[in-house]
Amino acid sequence: MRYVRKLKDMKKKHSTTDKKSKASSSSQPETLMINLEENLEVIKKTLGESSDIVIRDVLAGTDGNIHLAVIYTEGLADKTFIQDFIIKPLMLTIRETEISDKGSQHMSSMDILKNFALSNGDVKKIGDFDSLYLHVLSGDTVVLLEGYTKGFSIGSRGWEDRGVNEPSSQTVIRGPKDGFSETLRTNTALVRRKIKDPNLWIETKPIGKKTRTDVALVYLKGVADDKIVEEVRERLLRINIDGILESGYIEEFIQDETYSPFPTVFNTERPDTLAAGILEGRIAILVDGTPFALLVPAVFVQFFQSSEDYYQRFDVSFLIRILRYVSFFLALITPSAYIAVTTFHQEMLPTQLLISLAAQREGTPFPALIEALLMELTFEVLREAGVRMPRAVGSAISIVGALVLGQAAVEAGIVSSAMIIVVSLTAISSFVMPAINMAISVRMLRFPLMFLAATFGLFGMILGLITIILHLCSLRSFGVPYMSPMAPFKSSDQKDVIFRAPISRMFSRPTFLKPNDKIREKPPTPKPESN
């Protein structure tokens, strides 16, 4: 068997090398050539004379003896910038400059251009077509010279941007209102504005063979665990796909467990949440083209924390956090508990309540499970419709929803009004979660629990819950157990789980993230006794 496999491997290798050699022989030369015309020919051929690529010939120099070409992509590059600071100096300034200094006469025209004409900050030398295309298609301007195998790439990116707006998915009452936008540079700037530390390192790498999307790894050197940083870097390097269109792609590639209803990567639109995570020793991944940044390693309790928790007084946020955990459980088990109690354990209910429930259920034709499924399904459809429909018809949905869910279903005797209460409670509870992806997993897990409750009552529910907790305990996110710091229990990390300690008492970073630098703030030194 092994021999056969080896043979296959060899065959594979052969075929790939064949392809490579074929590709290189048929395609254009890799490095720039001396002749400018030839270079431009190659570029035009490769880019297929796309209408948004602008190639401008310029004759520069005192006698117009330097033949050069300016190449940029219209729409991605800042047109006025190019006219004022690239083409104009090349055509005019160079002519006016007296290059009388003896040393400068020995300079090549390339250096003269760089030193006397191009007054831009971001100028790079490039030597091969690959980087030329990458720069041009990213919005930079490339200048090529006759007689040189090198060219300049000048940073001139400037395209229509949505700007920094209020985040739409994670709103707060108190706290900064800026959110990430689609441009990577804006986003990194937003993070830098929060953390002005030289140890904030931003590593950028294009991922995706066709899209060449810039993906930035942001972390605090000396705080984040080096092993985890290395692990994230490796997982990013392993990605081999044609395109990255959103950070969700990256999330699916780097997460630990693919087949799990629970998210093991945290995402946020808010720079303050991201900065807080980085300060705790987490690692952020920013992706160009999306306002959603990723934060790893993620633990279960993180999805119950909102950045607002830290801006309000600690007792308020403690209560609100309890509310979130309670509503998590409500969203998960309310329908199944209702089914289990009404079908199997009627004795649990106080007599009065039981009588009123029985009276309501008398007219309804379906068993509790079908009733619950019907209403839950209706609600899910309404919610999905609410997200997708055009704004203009929004009110129609809410009218239909209110009527169908509230009135007509009960009056027609299809469902009992108690079931309406249960479904609404579930629905409202699932909106309390600050992280949407956690709310979605609860939405999904509700249904198997309902089936278990309908067949085995509370016994089935408990089985289901144990299974869920077992699964949660088996998860890991970049080596960190998902349920930490609850399991494995760390008493020093309990300051920010259910109870949020006053910020002046949070001396240390969470230890489950294994930060290199554990101390956040110095514990106050005892005041010297006053006489």
Partner 1 sequence: MEKLKISALQFTNIVILFTIGSSILIIPSGVAEEARQDGWLAGIVGLAGGILVILLFNALQKQHPNLTLSESCEVILGKWVGKGVSFIFISFFFMLASTVMWDLVNFLTTHILIHTPIEVISILFISLIIYATRLGLETIVRCGEIFLPWVIGLFLVLILFALPEAKFSNVLPFLEEGLKPVFRGAILSMSIPYLQLIVFLMLYPAVQSVPKSGKSLLIGTLLGGIVLISITTSCLLVLGIDSTIIQSHPSYILGKKIRLGNFIQRIEVIVAIIWMLTIFFKLVILFYSSTLGFAQLLGVKDYRTLTFPLGIILTVLSLVIFPNSTYANEFAGTVWIPYSFTICVLLPFLLVIIGKMRRKKADNT
Q: Which residues bind partner 1 (CB under 8 A)?
A: 344-345, 347-348, 350, 456-460, 462-463, 466-467, 469-470, 472-474, 481, 483, 486-489
Contacts of 134 by beta carbon, 8 Å cutoff, 6+ apart: 206, 212
Q: How far is the CB of 359 from partner 1 (least distance, A)?
A: 19
Nearer to partner 1, 159 or 459 (CB): 459
Distance CA 365, CA 412 (A): 11
Residue the block writes with tokens 């068997």: 1
Nearer to partner 1, 208 or 460 (CB): 460
- Token pair, residue 16, equals 């790939």
Nearer to partner 1, 71 or 340 (CB): 340
Burial class (CB in 10 A: 0-12, 13-18, 19+), 383: middle
Burial code of 74-112, b = ≥16 C-beta within 10 A, e = fewer?
eebbbeebbeebbbebbeeebeeeebeeeeeeeeebbeb
Nearer to partner 1, 292 or 303 (CB): 303
Distance CA 102, CA 93 (A): 19
Nearer to partner 1, 211 or 467 (CB): 467
Q: How far is the CB of 486 from partner 1 (least distance, A)?
A: 6
Q: How far is the CB of 266 from partner 1 (least distance, A)?
A: 20
Nearer to partner 1, 90 or 452 (CB): 452
Distance CA 509, CA 276 (A): 11
List the one residue out of 146, 139, 142, 90 whose CA is nearest residue 119: 90
Q: How far is the CB of 515 from partner 1 (least distance, A)?
A: 20
Nearer to partner 1, 279 or 458 (CB): 458
Nearer to partner 1, 160 or 347 (CB): 347
User: Which 3 state secondary structure label does DSSP give 128?
Assistant: strand
Q: How far is the CB of 186 from partner 1 (least distance, A)?
A: 41
Is 264 within 8 Å of 307 (Cβ atoms)? no
Nearer to partner 1, 190 or 486 (CB): 486
List the one residue out of 116, 126, 125 whose CA is nearest residue 92: 116
Q: How far is the CB of 344 from partner 1 (least distance, A)?
A: 7
Q: How far is the CB of 332 from partner 1 (least distance, A)?
A: 14
Q: How far is the CB of 474 from partner 1 (least distance, A)?
A: 4
Amino acid code (one letter) for 129: F
Nearer to partner 1, 350 or 365 (CB): 350
Q: How far is the CB of 255 from partner 1 (least distance, A)?
A: 18
Nearer to partner 1, 223 or 486 (CB): 486
Q: How far is the CB of 258 from partner 1 (least distance, A)?
A: 17
Q: How far is the CB of 347 from partner 1 (least distance, A)?
A: 6
Burial class (CB in 10 A: 0-12, 13-18, 19+), 295: buried
Preceding amide of 488 cis, omega within 30: yes
Distance CA 474, CA 231 (A): 19
List the one residue out of 90, 415, 397 whose CA is nearest residue 82: 90
- Helix, strand, coil percentages (3-state) for the chain, rounded to 5, are 50, 15, 35
List the one residue out of 75, 33, 35, 29 whose CA is nearest residue 53: 75
